[in-house]
Structure 1
Amino acid sequence: MSTTRAALHRKDTAKPGDLHMSFELGDKSWKLTFGDGGGTASRHTVAAGDQAGVADCIARAGKRFKTSARAQVHSCYEAGRDGWWLHRWLTGLGVDNIVVDAASIEVNRRARRAKTDRLDGDKLLTMLLRHHHGERVWSVLREPTASQEDERRDHREFERLTHERTAHTSRIRSLLVLHNLRPSVPIGGRYWATWWSQHSEQLGRRLREEIERELTRLRLVKEQVRQIEVARQRELQDARQPTVAQLMRLVGIGARGACVLAHEVFGWRQFANRRELAGCIGVAPTPYASGNSHIEQGISKAGNRRARSVLVELAWCWLRLQPESAMTKWFNQRFARGGARMRRIGIVALARRLAIALWRFLRDGELPSGARLKAIQT
């Protein structure tokens, strides 16, 4: 839930008599804070996920603040584990709800500051009132549809499983080194069974059993990875995924990168300009200019980390597979002759340019300068 948009500002979106509500969501209980802008607050606690309790609290707060039956209810909560179901449920009740990027909420900068659920609820309520009176106080997340949210599950699980697969192989390799065994074949691969049968007797019984259990978990993870890859291949043949198919037309972009970019960013987001796109994926600059100090602090990283990571990987592939493109020539001229640090800086800059080029390619059909398309298979 890290994709943000700028909150409304310089426009008063609240009316006198409206009811405002903030949620402080916990694992076991929720703290609800109500106010009408008059300076007083009403606080309630309900069990986590208790929809009937939330609806009852809204009704009781309306009676306490004497709001009319036609008054609008405005609410907010921080993005977190509960995701979007609460937002959709509140919207279905007619509540004007927003989901806030937690990192964009202003906090007291004292080294020791009081922090309780009650204070956090009051703070959210105060900022919600300021937001609806025209101030730009935080970043508001854009809501994907239920189907768009569901489409992101496969590649996110794939990412988690590949990390788990690496963890299992690294653990097995570390256990083998305890007896100076260094496999010359990939662990769990085609020739692993032969190697393991030849060397397993050199280990103690308990260590051998521990490695066998790790191998069982590794086989399970690899089978689940294979299932996701098969599902991805079926998805690529689905005509309902035009964004993925169009991205894969470019040399250097494969199935995984196209799926991540389509489902995380390009498949459902609309951008007014390249700065919005850079902010969405967290590659916008963060200058520090105060008095005589002018420092560039690097990219913000306040965006979609999965899309940013994939774009950096694709940028390296782009250098190798699109050598005649204008972006590759620009990188080679500016950064290729520098050291490793300069190349790392340059590849992030190239990733930002690549994201903008792909956005224009999807929106307008504008092929990146000098880029090649894959040959059409007949």
Structure 2
Amino acid sequence: MDEVCPVTVPSIEQEAARDLVRSREDCRGDLMRAWHRLSKLLLRHRIVYYGGNAWTGVHDGWLCRQRLESPAAQLALESDYETVQAVTLRRHRLDVAIAELAADSRYTPIVRRLGCLRGISTLTAFGLAVEIGDWTRFTGASIGPFVGLVPSENSSGQSRHQGPITKTGNSHARRLLVEAAWHHQRPYRIGKTMLDRWQLASPIAQARGDAGNRRLHRQWMKFIARKKRHPVANVAIARELAGWCWSLATLDDVGDLGDRPMTG
């Protein structure tokens, strides 16, 4: 009894979209490694950038002006720089392809509703949509365990001990939620980016997204007041964020605004 759980067999279209999202994630990792190699090469030659944020247009101009005394070292520098440029262009092509699919595909309604939450860009929303697939399989309480954001437990008799999160389930969706959760630490202000996303969603989705944004920021403030370690607090926020994402993904745009349970 209750030991067999229903699953959804992904369609060819969903598998293709998932491959695209994961290819972009692999590209992200490749770019970070390329950045690391280039910056550490310069650091070994005692060349440090002090002009502000790295990997911007200004930083790129600074990189182009660097010259090393050894011809071999200069060749290595140029090779690492070309790798950064090539991977950056590859990432851009993938971003464009994902944006086109997110704007005109079966995932478009979910992407637009998820975009009502802070930290959920088009890329993140599309990634969650294709990784989760059929959101109706879950509830606000079961979506967290599916992505491995619940504490592990080792209990015996009257003793109950909770450990780190399980990290079971879909690791790609978990990473997206954890990264998005950090955005809710900052004070909540409705800026132009959020307003532009809201314009693409229904008023009901906008209201639910606004409620979620306010709730998640309040939860962050409570954790900070309790001096909770930020990584631990952020995982808890990500777990609740998963519930809000489920709420929006399964939202009936013509329904009412009655409260739904977010997480267990």
Provide the identity percentage. Answer: 24
Partner SS for 1:199: coil
Structure 1 counterpart of 2:145, from 279, 284, 296? 279
**Which residue, 339, 358, 362 being the options, matches 2:249?**
362
1:199 aligns with 2:66: yes
Q: CA deviation at 1:293?
A: 3.0
With normalisation by structure 2, the TM-score equals 0.75
Residue pair 1:7, 1:140 contacting (<8 A) in 2 also: no
- 8 Å CA contact 1:315–1:347 kept in 2: the answer is yes
Higher strand share: 1
Query: Is residue 252–residue 321 contact of structure 1 (8 Å, CA) maintained in 2?
Result: no
Q: Which has the higher contact order (CA 8 A, sep 6+)?
A: 2
Alpha-carbon deviations, 1:208-250, whole Å to 9, x = none? 1111111221111011011011112222321532111221133
2:78 aligned partner: 212
1:158·1:228 contact (CA, 8 Å) conserved in 2?
A: yes
Equivalent position amino acid for 2:124 in 1: G
Residue 180 of structure 1 corresponds to: 46
Give 1:196 shift. 4.5
Report the structure, 1 or 2, having the larger helix content.
2
- Counterpart selection for 1:325 from 214, 236, 247: 214
SS in 2 for 1:282: coil
Which whole-Å CA distance do the structure 1 matches of 2:41 and 2:237 have between them? 40
**Equivalences for 1:187-266 in 2 at 5 Å?**
189-191=56-58, 194-196=61-63, 198-200=65-67, 202-238=68-104, 240=106, 241-265=108-132
Other structure's SS at 2:239 match = helix
Matches within 5 A, 1:1-378: 7-8=3-4, 142-184=8-50, 189-191=56-58, 194-196=61-63, 198-200=65-67, 202-238=68-104, 240=106, 241-265=108-132, 267-320=133-186, 322=188, 325-333=214-222, 335-339=223-227, 341=229, 343-365=230-252
Q: How far, CA to CA, are the matches of 2:59 and 2:231 in structure 1?
A: 36
Q: For residues 215 and 71 of structure 2, what CA distance do their matches in structure 1 show?
A: 60
Cα distance in structure 2, aligned partners of 1:222 and 1:7? 46
Distance 2:163 2:114 in 1: 32
Q: C-alpha separation between the residues in 2 aligned to 1:144 and 1:183?
A: 47
Query: What amino acid is the match of 1:336?
Result: I
**Are 2:146 and 2:169, in contact at CA under 8 Å, matched by a contact in 1?**
yes
Name the CA shift for 1:206/1:367 in 2 (closer, same or farther; >3 Å).
farther
Q: Are the counterparts in 2 of residues 164 and 221 from structure 1 also a CA contact under 8 Å?
A: yes
Segments of 5+ residues of structure 2 without an aligned counterpart are: 190-212, 260-264
Contact 1:281 1:302 in 2 (8 A): yes
Matching residue of 1:112: none
Q: 1:194 to 1:301 in 2, by over 3 A?
A: closer
Q: Could you give the per-residue CA deviations for residues 63-116 of structure 1, whole angstroms, max 9, x where no partner exists?
A: xxxxxxxxxxxxxxxxxxxxxxxxxxxxxxxxxxxxxxxxxxxxxxxxxxxxxx
Would the aligned equivalents of 1:284 and 1:300 in 2 still touch at CA under 8 Å? yes
- Alpha-carbon separation, structure 2, partners of 1:305 and 1:329: 27
Given that residues 169 and 187 in structure 1 are in contact (C-alpha distance below 8 angstroms), is that contact kept between their aligned partners in structure 2? no
Cα deviation digits, residues 229-282 of structure 1 (max 9, x gap): 1112222321532111221133442112211111111x4343243343122111
The CA deviation string for residues 168-214 of structure 1, in whole angstroms up to 9 with x for no partner, is 121112112222111345777534565356431x4311111111111
TM-score (norm 1): 0.54
Q: Which has the larger radius of gyration?
A: 1
Question: Structure 2 vs 1, CA of residues 291 and 237 (structure 1 numbering), >3 Å: closer, same or farther?
Answer: closer
Describe the SS at the equivalent of 1:214.
helix
CA-based RMSD of the aligned residues comes to: 2.9
Look up the SS of the partner of 2:66 in the other structure. helix
Output the CA distance in 2 between the equivalents of 1:192 and 1:350: 34
Aligned length: 230
Change (3 A) 1:268 1:321: farther
Instruction: Flag structure 1 segments of 5+ consecutive residues without an equivalent.
Output: 1-5, 9-138, 370-378
* AA partner of residue 173 (structure 2): A
